[in-house]
Homo-oligomer: A and B are copies of this chain.
């Protein structure tokens, strides 16, 4: 049995991960720490597990094998480096960290300690994503020239998001770094890492963080990625669009189905849109994490995509601050003073 500690219930998804940990036959929650003591104590009491006032004390326990990190994003680096140094495996809600420098520090500590890290990037495992990857591998779209991914809910309009999700210091940003992670890592998955990012944020409900965001990714081959996220649209479907020189593919417009038109599958497929079956979902991020712990494997692709996601988010935030296009090669450098 892998004995897991929950590190904070700050994130709205913390309870979901706790549920998955409890439901998994190989894992159980044995302890809780929270940067807000009252919140953590309450969760520990309800679950009948130990609560630790001190993170260091928790991490010093030899009968804790692993941690799930759901603290504010700006604490990720400190919490995860400590956890890795204490030899604990780590599952964490995205983003891994809000800057690539901090993300690299986490990954370095994880590699040094030889613990298993997995970042929650759940839509990598969904059937539509896997079906789209299949279409791309078959070359049915030709050269991919535009990917557009949109995810929005109405949380800021209907006011059901917790207030701390608008705390810029804790979150590192609003709609884009929260919801926008999903369209961002999917765009990165399909198109690769861009040369530069240009982002535009809107503040519809007047919060400290943006509640409306578009980031445009530019690639050396002329392709563009458009990543959209918002907290101000309750009926906006989750949408993916991929356009290439030989075909186009749409998902979620608004139905949760993939339609495809391509010149690569004969005359009928070049004249009409056909439905592409979704693939089966892959095992969840939590299941993958447990698998890596059990099999002593490394979540290589997951970690690489998580690092790229942080790069893209940091570049987006810097682009809005500077009102300029930001090259990814300029991130995380000691002399990065142009952005300050």
Tier of interface size on chain A:
35 or more
Q: Are A230 and B204 touching (Cβ within 8 A)?
A: no
- How many copies the complex holds: the figure is 2
Tell me, yes or no, whether A273 is within 8 Å of chain B by CB. Answer: yes
Q: CB-defined interface of A123-153 with B at 8 Å, one 1/0 digit per residue?
A: 0000000000000000000110110101010
Please tell me which one of the listed residues B198, B235, B270 contacts residue A200 in the complex, with CB atoms under 8 A apart.
B198
> Separation in Å of the A263 CB from the closest CB of chain B?
7
Tell me, yes or no, whether A162 is within 8 Å of chain B by CB. Answer: no
- B residues near A193, Cβ cutoff 8 Å: none
Known: A226-B214, A253-B253. A233 touches B324 (CB 8 A): no
Tell me, yes or no, whether A250 is within 8 Å of chain B by CB. Answer: yes
Expressed in whole angstroms, the Cα–Cα distance for A205 and B142 within the complex equals 13
Tell me, yes or no, whether A261 is within 8 Å of chain B by CB. Answer: yes
Please tell me which one of the listed residues B204, B235, B244 contacts residue A247 in the complex, with CB atoms under 8 A apart.
B235
Tell me, yes or no, whether A184 is within 8 Å of chain B by CB. Answer: no
Known: A230-B145, A254-B273, A324-B324. A236 touches B248 (CB 8 A): yes
Q: CB-defined interface of A252-271 with B at 8 Å, one 1/0 digit per residue?
A: 01100001011100000010
Q: Are A222 and B211 touching (Cβ within 8 A)?
A: yes
Contact residues, A220-261 vs B (CB, 8 A): 221-224, 226, 228, 230, 232-237, 243-248, 250, 253-254, 259, 261
Tell me, yes or no, whether A202 is within 8 Å of chain B by CB. Answer: yes
Known: A211-B222, A214-B226, A250-B254. A233 touches B154 (CB 8 A): no
Tell me, yes or no, whether A32 is within 8 Å of chain B by CB. Answer: no
Known: A200-B325, A233-B243. A212 touches B145 (CB 8 A): yes
- B residues near A228, Cβ cutoff 8 Å: 146, 148, 226
- B residues near A216, Cβ cutoff 8 Å: 198, 200, 214, 216
Report 29 cross-chain contacts, Cβ distance below 8 Å, ordered by A residue: A142-B157, A143-B204, A146-B152, A146-B228, A148-B150, A148-B228, A154-B245, A157-B245, A198-B200, A198-B323, A200-B216, A204-B223, A212-B222, A214-B216, A222-B232, A226-B226, A233-B245, A234-B245, A235-B243, A235-B247, A235-B248, A235-B261, A236-B248, A237-B248, A237-B250, A248-B254, A253-B253, A254-B259, A254-B261
* 9 A-B pairs with the lowest CB-CB distances in the bound complex, closest first: A204-B222, A253-B253, A202-B222, A323-B325, A235-B248, A235-B261, A233-B243, A200-B216, A203-B222
